[in-house]
């Protein structure tokens, strides 16, 4: 794991170069030597709270919504088109929890506002 930490914090090709934080769970593979190497690359490691299953549930729900409502209906031709699709999806529907239900009157107002954009 130390070698992986060195790889992700490399100045020329690591994906944590311009990042401030690395969130991780309490798995034993994130040992103190791993955290030391990450922090030596000026990235602060933050351990998620123990026994917090809902943190992952919200992320999984958002990913599921993106897949079903957006990505399943598109043919993507690269990373650029994926980024644009996700950007438009996030602007249209920022959070699954904020979406009104189909039965409510607010849903019709939401639909008409989306058509106006």
pTM value?
Answer: 0.46
What integer is the mean pLDDT of 61-87? 87
pLDDT in tens, 46-61: 888 877 767 777 778 8
Distance (Å, whole) CA 104 – CA 87: 27
pLDDT in tens, 90-111: 887 755 554 544 444 444 444 4
- The predicted structure's pLDDT at residue 104: 46
User: How buried is residue 22: exposed, middle or buried, by Cβ count under 10 Å (0-12/13-18/19+)?
Assistant: buried
55: Cα within 13 Å, side-chain hemisphere: 9
């Amino acid at each position: 794991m130390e070698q992986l930490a060195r790889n992700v914090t490399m100045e020329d090709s690591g994906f944590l170069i311009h990042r401030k934080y690395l969130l991780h769970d309490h798995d034993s593979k994130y040992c103190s030597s791993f955290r030391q190497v990450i922090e030596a690359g000026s990235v602060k490691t933050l351990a998620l709270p123990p026994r917090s299953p809902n943190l992952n549930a919200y992320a999984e729900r958002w990913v599921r919504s993106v897949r079903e409502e957006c990505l399943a209906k598109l043919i993507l031709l690269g990373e650029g088109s994926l980024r644009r699709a996700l950007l438009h999806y996030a602007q249209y529907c920022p959070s699954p929890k904020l979406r009104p239900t189909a039965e409510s009157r607010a849903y019709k107002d939401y639909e008409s506002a989306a058509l106006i954009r």
